[in-house]
Every structure is written in structure tokens, then in C-alpha cells.
């Protein structure tokens, strides 16, 4: 671990507090993304004693900021606070995030808690993790109880048999909770938990929990019990399946509000269940249609059907669902429909599915558009990129300015695939300006993705293309009056410089970058120091590179060591250390 700042040089907690209290959501979000840097600067002791308690109290914010915090704490953050022996300290702020109102934040917090659990010792689990699970499971608000269901499976195999007994009892209580959302969560997480039960406890504890949930009066609870059914069936003998589960399986197939498992086998599916499944796709309840849509793709129900049956029985339903009144049905369909393409083949996909893709790409609901875009690679593998891009290019250009930033981000991630298949001339004509426009997006995540996109494009088309098509435009933004554009220039160079040649760095990059090292905004100056460090480590491993580092980068970083801002001094010092290593 690298040393922290000298104590007299920085008050990073005060800086972070100021940024987190800003009225600018983007500034608060940037502050959250910078907490690894802050923790590194503080050193492990102060990170534990000052930073973590501060973050534990910082749960009154926009959902986007809280989501980022939950994610950052699950990214091996224990490395910044002294290693795994202190990892349990992270459970405090994550426990608070597990009880907030927004589902996405709670889910991410629970996910991060289970990541922390992976590095905890058995003693840490029993002293800190298990009490946390109990507190959340018995919380006054349903939000905490809902989150707790996701936490049982991660540690069940690691604790003593006595604690395992308590965990099974605690999970049984969740399955009987008064709130449907809690029972839904227990239905979702029963399967992963039962997978760790002994065979004895599968029958004595897992089966009663499953039966309770499978007979729930809420459709949405019963919908989620399939994974638990499969997990139990895998752990017991065929005779025990017949004795204990056959009744539930039959009820599940016939229950209009529960959705079908493909586990019954191809022959039975073809002969008995197609009509039932079509009825589910047309069910009066939107929740039922949504669940049925998840069984459409090649890994689900349709994988047991011949192409002719899919075309005759399933595709008409899919066509109707693409115009369903429920946005959730359309979103579920959009997420899964691409999986049918490999079953139909090229010609049938072009005729029957491609028009539906184009229709769903224009849907009013952002989640529908996002789900279609994120799965286009499956369709590309079937019909080919040229036809797909020809059909989708107008939609892609339109979606590049979509109001939903997640849709714009999905488009960005799809661009390198298009570029690789279409070639430079077509790309430059149709999509080049589009890729550069994302660098000026108002959302940080889009600008960050746009810089990564430029690196991927450089890897696809080569450095000579980057020299003429990317570098001049990126460096030109460095003189913009808006500091966000200047910051984007620095971040883009940091990202793409390892893919450039030393000649391009010397002729086109280093001059404007050194000008930005004198920028009035401290954030830009210390990001320049980071960029110089990356350039030194990427290009300082040859005689020419070492000479360049000594003549250009080292003097610039030496100047920044005397900067008035502590962050700039810190990153300049670190950059000099790395530059010295490369030139040694």
C-alpha cells in the first residue's frame, strides 16, 4: 500500500464533506468515486477511524450517489483500510445502505456485503456478519428484511452447525413475513441457500419453506419459487422428488399465476405444455405475461420446441407482446427476445424478429430500449453485422441522444463491435462525430465510457487512424472554456495513451497536456499528473522513451510538486516515483 499524504498537507475528510454537501449531484457523485483515492491518501489507520464512520453517516442523498457508494465499498475496499482483518468495518455503512428505500441501492449494498463476506474469517463472520444478518432480518422496516434474504447463502457453509440452525430459522421467518416484498425476496434467495443445506436439512427445513412460499396467496411470490424447487430437486433422490414435490410440480404447471419450469423435459413440453404456455403469454395479468416472457429465449421454454412450432405458436404471441400495454411486459420481452434468433436461423430472424427489434428500439420506456441494445450481439451472430447495422443505424444515431443515460451508455458499448465489422471509411462517415459528441455529455459515466470507447476504437483501427481522427479532436477540447471539457481531454489521454505511439505522444499530446498542468482548476492539474504517470509507465521502457520521460515528464511533475493544492502535490510525487522506476 502506498503512503498517505503528510498530515499537514491535507484535510481530505473536510474536502469530501464539502463535496458531498454540494447542491451539485454530479460533484457529490464524483466525490464518492474518489473515496479510494481519499482512503489511499489517508492511509489505513485514518481511513478506518475517519473515513468509514463518515461514510456510515452519509446515507441521506440521491439514489445515484448512494448506489455509487454501495458499489465502491464492494470493490475490494478492504485493501484501503488495512486488509481483510479489518474488512468487517465496511459492514457498517453497507448495513445502512441495505435499509434505504430505493431497491437498486439495497440490492447493490447486499451484493457488496456478500463480497465482503468472502474475505472475512470465520470469527469475523460470527462476530460481525451474523449479528448484521439478524438485525436486518428483524428490522422494523420491510426494506431491511428484504435485503437480509440475500445475505444468508454467502456464509451458511462457513459457520458452525449451531449458527446454521439459527440461520435456517431466521430464513423460515422471512418466508412467513407479513410483507409480500419480504416473502418475494425469500423466494428468490431460497435456491442459493438450499444448495448449501445437508440432505437432511433439505427435507426438514428447505422443503417446508418452499411449500409455504409455493402456496403463497401472492402471484409475485409464487412466481419466484422455481429456483427453490430446482435446488431442492437436485439435492434429493428421484423417489423423494416423487414423494415430496410431485404435487407442487403439478400445481405449478396448472396454476394460472405461476410460471413454468423447463425441467419437465422436451417430450412433455411439446406434447402437453405448449398450449398452457401460450395461454400464459396471453394471460390477463401483466405480471404473468412478464414472467412468461422470461421463458421465451433459447435457454428457456422455447429451447424445447421445433422451429415450426416457435413460428406458429410463439412468434404471434411475441408480436402481440411487443405492443403490450404494460411497459414491464415489453421490457421483459426486449431483454429475452434476441435468444430466439439462434433457434430460428438467419432468414426467419430477418423476416419475423428484426421488425420487432426496430419497433422496440423506439419504445417510450427507456428500459425497453436498453434491453434490446444490450442483447444485439446475439442477433448479430445470426444475421450478420452488415444487415443489422444497415437496419439499426438510424435507430443507433437517434438513441445516441436518448434522454436515459443508461441507453446512451449501452449504445457506446455496442460501437466497437460495429466498428470492427464495418471498417474505417463507413465508421468515420456515419459514427465518428457521434463518438466524439459523447465526450461532452453532461453525465460523468457517459464521458468515462466515451473515453474507454476511444481506446477500443484505437485498438480496432490502429494508431495512425487515432492520430488523424481522435487525437486532434480530443486535444482541441483542452482549450475549451468549460472545465468539464478540459477534464475530459485529460481523462481521455490517460485512457488512450497506452495505445498510442511515442511519436504521437511527442508530436500531438504532450504540449497541450503540459498547458493543462497549469489549469486554474486543481482537479484538472492533479489529473494531468495522473496522465503523465500513465504516459511514463507506458512509454518509458525504451531508450527513446526514457529520454522523453526525463526531458518532458519529470520536469513537469517536479513543477507540480510545488503546487498549492495537496492533491496535485500527492499525485505529482507519486508520478515521479513511477517515472524514476521506468527510467532506472
141, 143, 148, 150: CA torsion to nearest 10: 160
* pLDDT at residue 503, rounded to an integer: 92
Rounded mean pLDDT, 53-58: 81
Mean pLDDT of 142-154: 93
Q: What percent of the chain has pLDDT over 90?
A: 28
What does the alpha-carbon distance between residue 320 and residue 278 come to, in Å, rounded to a whole number?
A: 12
pLDDT at 567: 85
Is residue 260's pLDDT more than 70? Answer: no
Q: Report pLDDT for 167.
A: 94
Residue 204, number of CB atoms within 10 A of its CB: 12
Residues 177-205: what's their mean pLDDT? 90
Of 153-157, 267-271, 344-348, which one has max mean pLDDT?
A: 153-157
Mean pLDDT taken over the chain: 82
Task: Note the Cα 72 to chain centre separation in Å.
Answer: 12
DSSP state of 353: I
Cβ partners under 8 Å of residue 284, min gap 6 = none
| Residue 164 confidence (pLDDT) | 93
pLDDT of res. 101 = 86
What is each CA distance from 137 to 123, 275, 531, in whole angstroms? Answer: 21, 41, 46
Residue 12 has pLDDT above 60, yes or no: no
Question: What pLDDT is stored for residue 424 in this prediction?
Answer: 76
**Strand stretches in 94-179, DSSP E:** none
Least confident of 243-257, 383-397, 461-475, 495-509: 243-257
Query: Is the predicted pLDDT of residue 366 greater than 80, yes or no?
Result: no
The pLDDT score that the predictor gives to residue 135 is: 95
More confident residue, 273 or 424: 424
Alpha-carbon distance of 246 to 252, in angstroms, equals: 10
**Which of 40-49, 61-70, 174-183, 313-322 shows the lowest per-residue confidence on average (mean pLDDT)?**
61-70
Q: What is the pLDDT of residue 435?
A: 82
Q: Do residues 353 and 392 lie in contact, with contact meaning Cβ atoms separated by under 8 Å? A: no
pLDDT score, position 61: 62
User: Count of alpha carbons within 13 Å of 88, Cβ hemisphere only?
Assistant: 15
Q: What pLDDT, on the 0 to 100 scale, is given for residue 6?
A: 41
Strands (E), 365-476: none
Would the pLDDT of 317 be above 80?
Answer: yes
The predicted structure's pLDDT at residue 59:
62
- Rounded mean pLDDT of 428-455? 81
Question: What is the pLDDT at residue 247?
Answer: 64
pLDDT at 254 over 60: no
Question: What percentage of the chain reaches a pLDDT higher than 70?
Answer: 85
Q: State pLDDT tens for residues 407-419.
A: 788 778 777 876 7
Higher pLDDT, 36 or 8: 36
- Give the whole-angstrom CA distance, residue 544 versus residue 21: 47
Between CA 66 and CA 73, with CA 68 as vertex, the angle to 5 degrees is 95
Which of 328 and 428 is assigned the larger pLDDT? 328
Q: What is the pTM of this model?
A: 0.50
pLDDT attached to residue 33: 81
pLDDT of amino acid 134: 94
Alpha-carbon distance of 484 to 490, in angstroms, equals: 10
The 10s digit of each residue's pLDDT in 151-180 is 999 999 999 999 999 999 999 999 989 898
In contact, 297 and 338? CB cutoff 8 Å: yes
| 14 pLDDT more than 80 | no
Decide if pLDDT at 313 tops 60: yes
Q: What is the pLDDT of residues 550-574, one digit of tens each?
A: 999 999 999 999 989 888 898 899 8
Q: By mean pLDDT, which of 186-190, 195-199, 373-377 is the weakest?
A: 373-377
Amino acid at each position: 500500500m502506498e503512503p498517505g499524504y503528510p498530515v499537514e498537507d491535507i484535510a481530505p475528510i473536510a474536502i469530501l464533506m464539502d463535496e458531498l454537501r454540494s447542491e451539485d449531484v454530479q460533484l457529490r457523485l464524483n466525490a464518492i468515486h474518489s473515496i479510494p483515492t481519499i482512503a489511499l491518501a489517508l492511509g489505513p489507520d485514518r481511513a478506518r477511524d475517519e473515513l468509514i464512520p463518515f461514510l456510515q453517516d452519509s446515507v441521506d442523498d440521491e439514489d445515484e450517489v448512494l448506489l455509487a457508494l454501495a458499489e465502491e465499498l464492494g470493490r475490494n475496499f478492504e485493501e484501503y483500510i488495512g486488509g481483510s482483518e479489518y474488512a468487517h468495518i465496511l459492514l457498517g455503512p453497507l448495513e445502512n445502505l441495505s435499509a434505504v428505500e430505493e431497491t437498486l441501492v439495497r440490492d447493490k449494498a447486499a451484493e457488496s456485503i456478500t463480497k465482503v463476506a468472502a474475505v472475512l474469517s470465520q470469527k469475523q463472520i460470527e462476530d460481525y456478519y451474523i449479528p448484521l444478518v439478524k438485525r436486518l432480518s428483524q428490522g422494523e422496516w420491510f426494506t431491511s428484511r428484504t435485503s437480509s434474504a440475500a445475505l444468508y447463502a454467502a456464509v451458511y457453509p462457513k459457520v458452525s452447525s449451531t449458527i446454521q440452525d439459527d440461520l435456517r430459522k431466521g430464513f423460515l421467518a422471512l418466508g412467513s413475513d407479513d410483507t409480500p416484498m419480504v416473502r418475494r425476496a425469500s423466494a428468490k434467495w431460497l435456491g442459493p441457500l438450499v444448495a448449501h443445506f445437508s440432505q437432511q436439512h433439505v427435507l426438514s427445513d428447505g422443503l417446508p419453506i418452499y411449500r409455504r412460499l409455493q402456496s403463497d396467496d401472492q402471484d409475485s411470490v409464487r412466481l419466484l419459487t422455481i429456483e427453490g424447487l430446482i435446488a431442492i430437486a437436485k439435492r434429493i433422490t428421484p423417489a423423494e422428488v416423487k414423494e415430496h414435490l410431485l404435487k407442487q410440480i403439478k400445481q405449478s404447471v396448472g396454476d394460472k399465476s405461476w410460471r413454468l419450469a423447463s425441467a419437465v423435459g422436451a417430450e412433455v413440453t411439446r406434447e402437453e405444455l405448449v398450449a398452457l404456455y401460450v395461454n400464459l403469454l396471453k394471460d390477463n395479468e401483466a405480471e404473468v405475461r412478464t414472467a412468461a416472457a422470461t421463458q421465451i429465449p433459447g435457454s428457456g421454454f422455447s429451447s424445447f420446441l421445433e422451429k415450426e412450432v416457435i413460428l406458429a405458436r410463439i412468434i404471434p404471441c411475441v408480436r402481440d407482446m411487443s405492443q403490450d400495454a404494460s411497459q414491464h411486459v415489453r421490457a421483459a420481452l426486449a431483454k429475452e427476445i434476441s435468444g430466439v434468433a439462434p433457434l430460428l436461423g438467419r432468414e426467419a430472424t430477418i423476416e419475423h424478429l428484426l421488425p420487432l427489434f426496430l419497433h422496440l428500439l423506439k419504445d417510450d420506456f427507456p428500459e425497453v430500449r436498453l434491453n434490446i441494445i444490450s442483447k444485439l450481439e446475439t442477433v448479430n451472430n445470426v444475421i450478420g453485422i452488415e444487415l443489422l447495422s444497415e437496419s439499426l443505424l438510424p435507430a443507433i444515431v437517434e438513441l445516441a441522444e436518448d434522454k436515459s443515460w443508461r441507453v446512451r451508455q449501452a449504445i457506446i458499448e455496442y460501437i466497437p463491435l460495429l466498428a470492427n465489422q464495418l471498417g474505417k471509411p463507413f465508421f468515420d462517415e456515419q459514427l465518428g462525430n457521434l463518438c466524439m459528441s459523447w465526450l461532452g455529455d453532461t453525465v460523468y459515466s457517459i464521458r468515462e465510457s466515451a473515453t474507454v470507447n476511444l481506446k477500443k476504437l484505437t485498438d480496432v483501427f490502429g494508431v495512425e487512424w487515432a492520430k488523424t481522427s481522435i487525437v486532434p479532436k480530443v486535444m482541441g477540447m483542452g482549450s475549451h472554456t468549460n472545465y468539464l471539457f478540459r477534464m475530459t481531454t485529460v481523462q481521455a489521454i490517460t485512457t488512450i495513451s497506452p495505445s498510442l505511439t511515442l511519436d504521437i505522444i511527442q508530436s500531438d499530446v504532450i504540449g497541450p497536456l503540459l498547458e493543462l498542468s497549469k489549469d486554474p482548476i486543481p482537479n484538472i492539474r492533479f489529473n494531468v499528473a495522473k496522465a503523465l504517470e500513465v504516459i511514463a509507465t507506458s512509454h518509458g521502457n525504451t531508450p527513446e522513451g526514457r529520454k522523453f520521460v526525463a526531458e518532458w515528464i519529470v520536469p513537469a511533475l517536479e513543477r507540480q510538486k510545488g503546487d498549492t493544492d495537496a492533491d496535485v502535490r500527492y499525485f505529482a510525487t507519486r508520478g515521479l516515483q513511477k517515472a524514476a522506476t521506468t527510467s532506472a
